[in-house]
Amino acid sequence: MGALGHYLEEEGIATVGISLIRPQTENTKPPRALWVPFELGRPFGPPADPGFQRRVLLAALRLLEHERGPVIIEDFPGDDPRAQPHSAWQPPVSATAAAKDARALAEGLEDGISRLEDSHRGWVEQNHRTTVGLSGLKISEAARYVAEWVRGKSPPSPREGYSAPLLMRFAVDDLKAFCLEAAAAGTARPSSRQLGDWFWEESAIGAALHALRERCLASEDERVKLIAGNFIVPAARVRITN
C-alpha cells in the first residue's frame, strides 16, 4: 500500500496510511503514514470505542496538512485503552488440564463448545451480531467436524462445493470466533490479551487446536499442511517444541 500511495500521489491524489508494523513502513516509505501501537487487525484501536477511533482517524488526516516530505511517518501519541487487563473479568469456563491423547482432546473440544453456548447467546443479545458462520455449519456441527480431525481422521466435507481441508479451516475459524465472543459476554471488558491467554493457554478448545495444528503439519496433503501452517493457530501463539 505504501508503494501504491506514491503512484496515486503522482496523479495528484493525496494519501495517508495507518501503519501497524513500523519497520515495514520504514522500508516501504509511503508518502504519509501514522504508526499506531495497536495489535494487528485493529488499526483504529479497540472495537466499540468510536471516540478513540475518531482520535486515530483525525491524527492520520492531519498528516495531509504537512508540507514536508516526500516521506512522513509519525507515531500516534497514545496506547490502546483496552490493552490493560480487566480485573473483574473471569473466564466463562474454568481452566481445563491439558489432555494427552487425541480422543480426550476431541472430547474436550466438543464439551467446551457446549458449555459456552449460554455465554455466546448472551454475547449475541448484547451486541446484536456475531462473526460466527463462515463454515455454514451449526456450531455443534463445526465442533464435531473439527473434533474428527483432532481424532486423527480426515472426514469428508459435509458441504457441497467445499473441500474437506477448506471446510476444516472455516470450521476452526467459527470455533475461535464463537469462543472469544462467548468469553467477552457480560459487563466486564477483557483485553484481547486476556482473551487470548485464556483461549490458547487454558481452554480445552485451544489445547485441541494446538494438537490439530501439529497433526496437520505432518500430513502428506499439501493443502492440509498449508492450512495448518497459516490458519489454525496465530503465529504469536504457536508453541515451540523440540
> Considering the chain, what is the average pLDDT of its residues?
90
Question: Does residue 156 share a domain with residue 58?
Answer: no
Is 162 in the same domain as 227?
A: yes
> Does residue 164 lie within any of the structural domains?
yes
Residue 83 has pLDDT above 90, yes or no: no
pLDDT of residue 1: 67
Identify whether residues 129 and 184 lie together within a single domain: yes
What average pLDDT does the segment 206-224 reach? 95
Q: Same structural domain for residues 65 and 114?
A: no
Grid coordinates representing 69? 516530505
**E strand map for the chain:** 17-19, 32-35, 72-75
Residues 114 and 13 occupy one common structural domain: no
Cβ–Cβ < 8 Å for 169, 209: no
Decide the pairing of beta strands 17-19 and 72-75: unpaired
241 vs 64 pLDDT, higher one: 64
pLDDT, average across residues 212-228: 96
| Whether residue 128 sits in one domain with residue 165 | yes
Q: What is the mean pLDDT of residues 99-127?
A: 93
- 6 and 110 belong to one structural domain: no
Residue 84 counted as domain residue: no
Which domain does 215 fall in, by range?
Answer: 102-237
Q: Is residue 13 part of a domain?
A: yes
Number of domains in the chain: 2
- Domain shared by 223 and 136, yes or no: yes
Task: Kindly report, residue by residue over 162-191, the tens digit of the pLDDT.
Answer: 999 999 999 999 999 999 999 999 999 888
Phi–psi pair at 223, nearest 5 degrees: -65, -40
- Whether residue 134 sits in one domain with residue 67: no
| Co-location of 112 and 214 in the same domain | yes
Q: What percent of the chain has pLDDT over 90?
A: 67
pLDDT band at 66 (very low <50, low <70, confident <90, very high): confident
Domain contains 95: no
- Confidence (pLDDT) at 41: 82
Instruction: Give me the count of residues in the chain.
Output: 242
User: Could you tell me which residues are beta bridge partners of residue 33?
Assistant: 17, 73
Mean pLDDT calculated for residue range 205-227: 95
User: What's the pLDDT tens digit per position in 132-150?
Assistant: 999 999 999 999 999 999 9
Q: Which residue has the higher pLDDT, 173 or 73?
A: 173
Q: Are residues 66 and 130 in the same domain?
A: no
